Chain A
Amino acid sequence: MYQWHFDIVWGYRWLFVSGTAVTIGLTVAVVVLGLLVGLVAGIAQISRFPVLRWLSWLYIEMFRLTPLLVLLLWFYYALPMMTGIKLDALSASIVTLALYGGSFYAEVIRGGIVSIDPGQSEAGLALGMTPARVMRRIVLPQAIKRMIPPLMNQSIIQFKNTSLVSVLAVPDLLYQGQVAAMDTYRALEVYTVIAAIYFVVLLPLTVIVKRAERHLAQST
């Protein structure tokens, strides 16, 4: 029978706290940046200029159809060789995750915008608004309501995706866990605690998403 020794793990608690802080901070950064990238790419998808539509399509598919781990390694090791731009591990992680998440956000944002009845745009145009103003005043306020649940879902996935940055030695939760596991030879306890921390942080968020979805279903 295996003897659990969580007391050993307790000695590394500050390592876990700092790892959790890095993971949360990283998530906030890549969610905010990803949303900005996604908004631009999503709107470009429905632009009247074919070049913008084509460029955003290329970006979205390139990042959606490549494994995140491959992208991380590429931005950290291959990008400097190709361009001479050397990113430190944290910057490479943020850039990669933001671009990766942005490609998924873009699809959600595009979908939200096109889900709004074209009659809404027509009514705004008929009043004499420019297309840009119609987007800001009429379409986006309605579309954002519909986008919120899928955007939050995508952000939860982004939170979990940050664990991959440990391969670049960014000191996130998983990386610190690996340090503790190697130190203590207590992989079972350490990784159980790590998994539990991810779970506990995300649980309230999923509850909020479920509520938002239910609220949205009621308000037509």
Chain B
Amino acid sequence: MTTCKIEVAGLRKSFGSLPVLRDINLKVDTGSVVALIGPSGSGKSTLLRCLNLLVIPEGGRVRIGDHSFSFDQGAKLPGVREQARFRSTTGMVFQHFNLFPHMTVIENVMEGPVWVKNMPKAEAADRARKLLAKVGLSDKVDVFPNKLSGGQKQRVAIARALAMEPAVMLFDEVTSALDPELVGEVLGVMRELAAEGMTMIIVTHEIGFAREVADRVIFMRDGVIVEAGPAREVIGQPKQEATRSFLSHFHNRG
């Protein structure tokens, strides 16, 4: 039986007078992988950031697991602590890694468990070592991030997010800043996570990867969901002209 892990209803957001999300509705089943694709400025990154409240929506509802927030008029906005507690249940990986440069690799991974979950340092270090082994970086435990390649940095960032044992992982164009030859190692880690049953939402331009790993693909343009469905259908036989035209840019890369 599948249960619905993430539910978004009527989500709205604008930056100034520019609407970036208009009435977004979305459901993600537990253990499923959803890929968000679309041109730049389509609102897919903003949607992802609304899911962990790095961007506060202006209307609609967001539910992840048992936490649910309403952003409609009159609804009480979550306070600073409530937001923090909510974010600790989601893991996010960023396009530009955002590793903490003043900490070693293992300290980066321990930071969340130690300072958010008050986990004893020894236990956090144990967990960090296991996660770093999982992403293939056991030999980089004590180095600083500036000594790592882009692909290695991004794998550390994934380990750092996983250390919080999140219910959901959010990936925001995590391979876009990487040299082409380093993309594979990061996608490999994500593929493994998906196979383990992690619930994942992936904003990506890697259409081939989306088709292979995602259960569902959502195509967005101008702040609305244009087309959503099983990955093979949306990418293989898109129904909407806008989706077709967007995907035509990728056909030589499929």
Which of the four size classes fits the interface of chain A? 20 to 34
User: Quick check: is A125 within 8 A (CB to CB) of the other chain?
Assistant: yes
Taking the complex as formed, is A129 at the interface, i.e. its CB lies under 8 A from any CB of chain B? yes
Distance (whole angstroms) from the CB of B154 to the closest CB of chain A: 12
Provide the bound-state CA to CA distance between A138 and B111, in Å.
10
Selected from A119, A133, A137, the residue in CB contact (under 8 A) with B96 is: A119
Chain A residues near B88 (CB, 8 Å)?
127-128
Is A83 in contact with chain B by the CB < 8 A criterion? no
A127/B116 in contact, CB under 8 A = yes
**Chain B 79-103: CB-based contact to A (< 8 A → 1; otherwise 0):** 0110111111111101010111110
Sorting the interface of chain B by its residue count into under 10, 10 to 19, 20 to 34 or 35 or more gives 20 to 34
Contacts of A127 in B (CB 8 A): 87-88, 111-112, 115-116, 160-161, 164
Tell me the minimal C-beta distance from B62 to chain A in angstroms. 15
Contacting residue for B80 out of A131, A137, A145, CB 8 A: A131
* CB of B4 within 8 Å of the partner chain: no
Task: Select the residue from A122, A131, A141, A220 with max chain B CB neighbours within 10 A.
Answer: A122
Task: Sample 18 A-B pairs with CB under 8 A, ordered by A number.
Answer: A119-B98, A122-B92, A122-B98, A123-B98, A123-B99, A123-B157, A124-B100, A125-B54, A125-B84, A126-B91, A126-B92, A127-B164, A128-B164, A129-B115, A130-B80, A137-B111, A137-B115, A145-B102
List chain B positions with a Cβ less than 8 A from chain A.
52, 54, 80-81, 83-92, 94, 96, 98-102, 111-112, 115-116, 146, 157, 160-161, 164
> Nearest 5 pairs between A and B by C-beta?
A128-B88, A123-B98, A127-B112, A119-B98, A126-B92
